[in-house]
Copies of this chain bind each other. A is one copy, B any other.
Amino acid sequence: MLGAIEAGGTKFVCAVGDEQGTIIDRVQIPTTLPEETIPKVIEFFRKHPVKAIGIGSFGPIDVNRESASYGNVTSTPKVGWKDYPFVQAIKDAIPLPVGFNTDVNAAALGEATFGAAKGLDSCLYITVGTGIGAGAVVQGKLLQGLSHPEMGHILIRRHEDDPYEGKCPYHKDCLEGLAAGPAIEARWGVKGDQLVDKGEVWEMEGYYIAQALMQYIVIISPKKIILGGGVMKQRQIFPIIYKHLEKMINGYVNLPPLEEYIVSPGLGDNAGITGSLMLAHEAYEDEINREATRV
């Protein structure tokens, strides 16, 4: 049995399951201070005989195995979590192999293994919710370089009817600053789910997301694009995205029909936790291989 943690800004989902992605038991724990949240996480896994744990975490986090701060949350504004040694805290309590990556990379892995990109060695998973983030599988591996991607912070062109200054504390009007849930609420005065019938809201939102997809496509060329997160439950955005993206790309890149290429998560809200199970599976396999090399 494998353990999985999807660590989000408001809640932790902990689950146990198998390498076929079947979830056997799960629990939700509010994200408060680490010293409150983590003991409850440990308690859950103490009840289940897991052989490895995978963590898909809010970021930024240190995913570089050669780094001294590997396994830590890094520069988050979340109280108590800055520089928190996440992997070490879990390992100290439960000495097992631990896989560690971003929540969106985990979701991309989940979707590539069992979801909308099943069988593909390449996909992009984007979440549009309280923030905007994305993860990618490239040639069968989670995209990583100097660090994990921070794709929500790309610069985009402002919509001509948008006077809103933007909400990102670092970049003001980057993608996240103009198109995440809090930006929608700040611009229009109420939350997105109360704006369902306001066409201009989704026209603007679709324009911004289409610009982001244009950039991701010409840079990474993913084989499938999956749009998740709370804002993307407004299904009326999808045709608006297709319309703008088609115009922006203007035939330069050959893409599959956009309705098949840009889709909702095949695993619904389980993409992240399923991917975290896969991170556990990988961590276990890595450990076995290391043992084998040692012998």
Task: Tell me whether A149 is interfacial, beta carbon within 8 Å.
Answer: yes
Do the beta carbons of A144 and B139 come within 8 Å of each other?
Answer: yes
- A206-218 CB mask vs B (1 if < 8 Å, else 0) is 0000010011101
Do the beta carbons of B223 and A219 come within 8 Å of each other?
Answer: no
Kindly specify which of A6-14, A83-91, A196-204, A246-254 makes contact with the partner chain: A246-254
Of chain B, the residue at the smallest CB distance from A63 is B221
Task: Tell me whether A157 is interfacial, beta carbon within 8 Å.
Answer: yes
Of chain B, the residue at the smallest CB distance from A143 is B138
Question: How far is A157 from B211 in the complex, measured between Cα atoms in Å?
Answer: 12
Question: How far is A218 from B148 in the complex, measured between Cα atoms in Å?
Answer: 8
- A30-72 CB mask vs B (1 if < 8 Å, else 0) is 0000000000000000000000000000000000000000000
Q: Which of A94-110 contact B (CB under 8 A)?
A: none
A248 CB, min distance to chain B CBs, angstroms: 7
- A124-151 CB mask vs B (1 if < 8 Å, else 0) is 0000000000000011010111111111
- The main secondary structure of chain A at its interface with chain B is loop
Of chain B, the residue at the smallest CB distance from A148 is B221
Q: Which of A157-193 contact B (CB under 8 A)?
A: 157, 170-171
Do the beta carbons of B218 and A219 come within 8 Å of each other?
Answer: no
Contacts of A256 in B (CB 8 A): 146
- Contact among B74, B144, B221 for A145, CB-based, below 8 A: B221
- Contact among B74, B149, B248 for A219, CB-based, below 8 A: B149
Task: Tell me whether A153 is interfacial, beta carbon within 8 Å.
Answer: yes
Task: Tell me whether A27 is interfacial, beta carbon within 8 Å.
Answer: no
Question: How far is A139 from B140 in the complex, measured between Cα atoms in Å?
Answer: 11
Do the beta carbons of B171 and A250 come within 8 Å of each other?
Answer: yes
Q: A147-B253, A157-B155, A214-B154 are in contact. Are A220 and B221 (CB under 8 A)?
A: no
- Contact among B148, B152, B254 for A147, CB-based, below 8 A: B254
Of chain B, the residue at the smallest CB distance from A121 is B145
A46 CB, min distance to chain B CBs, angstroms: 35
Task: Tell me whether A288 is interfacial, beta carbon within 8 Å.
Answer: no
Contacts of A146 in B (CB 8 A): 122, 221-223, 254-256
Known: A122-B146, A147-B253. 7 other contacts (CB 8 A): A138-B138, A138-B145, A145-B222, A149-B220, A150-B252, A155-B248, A157-B157
Q: Across chains A and B, which 7 residue pairs bring their CB atoms closest together, nearest first?
A: A145-B221, A170-B252, A122-B145, A150-B218, A146-B221, A170-B250, A153-B218
